[in-house]
Amino acid sequence: MNTNWNNKAVIASDRRERGNLNLSSKGEIASVTLFLRNDIKNTLRYSLKAGSPEKRIYPLILVSICFFVLMLLIQFAFADDAGLPQKIGRLNHGNAGERIAAAREIAKTGKSREADTAMAGQLAAEKDPVVRRAIYESIGRAGGRESAKALADKIKTEDDKGIRPLAILALGKTQDESSVTALRAIFLDEKDDMNARRQAGNALSNISTEASVRAVAEGLKDKNPGIRLQAASSLSRYMEPVLIKERLALLKKQAKEDTDADNRKYIQEHILKAKFNIKE
């Protein structure tokens, strides 16, 4: 008998609580429901082969629980899909609070073409910086290619210095590979705002591609010691195994050759902390 379904449900619930798993996403719902369906089938097969009535009761209880959880997941997923048009419509509401709430609710429903297009359009039209901030965060959570492109354009013209760094970081969270060019331009622009440049370095480390790593590595040659340190920090924080040996070699070289004594110390600390990500 397979009883791993309970562990799966607990793990899924825990991830959802931590914001790492959106159970309203159709792909994730399909994965969990397939797992539960197979467990129901296997448990029923075991129950039918069991010799005594007592041995059949426990598996049937498990089947009932699995079926109940399965129905809840399906209902939860389609309830969100059914309400998506209404949420998208509220993006144009006259009240700023309603637009903020709509953006956040849309992000919770997961990625979809309709939501992606709506968020991109609202971002281009939104005049209220507080609402734009909510849209930035929502795109970072569930943005698709179209909204990521709109965000990449917006960070060039965002005139509110308080929220522009948040927009830049949100662009990295989309993990859209086409965003590397826009983030690199900000990170390496010596005339740009320092906070914006640092956040661009942070954002690049969320996009695990060779192009992103090479863009960050260029920052090691920057005249500003703060940007060089940011580049080292970003190189140590990629969560995917991209150019591992190259990143470690760059960090070791920078730890010896950086002209700033404090940088050399901090970069060495980054190397030690990154051992779980970067291995020789």
Average pLDDT of the residues of the chain = 80
Residue 184: CA count within 13 A, CB half-sphere? 16
Q: 274 pLDDT exceeds 90? A: no
Split at pLDDT 50, 70, 90, the class of 37 is low
Split at pLDDT 50, 70, 90, the class of 268 is very high
Q: 6 pLDDT exceeds 70? A: no
Domain boundaries, the chain: 1-82
pTM of the model: 0.69
Q: Are 177 and 215 in contact (CB under 8 A)?
A: no
What was the pLDDT predicted at 246? 92
Query: Each residue of 114-134: pLDDT tens digit?
Result: 888 999 999 989 999 999 999
Q: Is 251 helix (H, G, I), strand (E, B) or coil?
A: helix
C-alpha to C-alpha distances, 21 to 28, 34, 110, nearest whole angstrom: 8, 17, 10
What was the pLDDT predicted at 61? 65
User: Terminus-to-terminus CA distance in the chain, angstroms?
Assistant: 43
C-alpha to C-alpha distances, 73 to 21, 68, 79, 92, 173, nearest whole angstrom: 13, 9, 10, 30, 26
What was the pLDDT predicted at 14? 41
Tokens of 41: 């089938």
Work out the widest C-alpha separation in the chain, in whole angstroms: 79
Query: Each residue of 256-267: pLDDT tens digit?
Result: 999 999 999 999
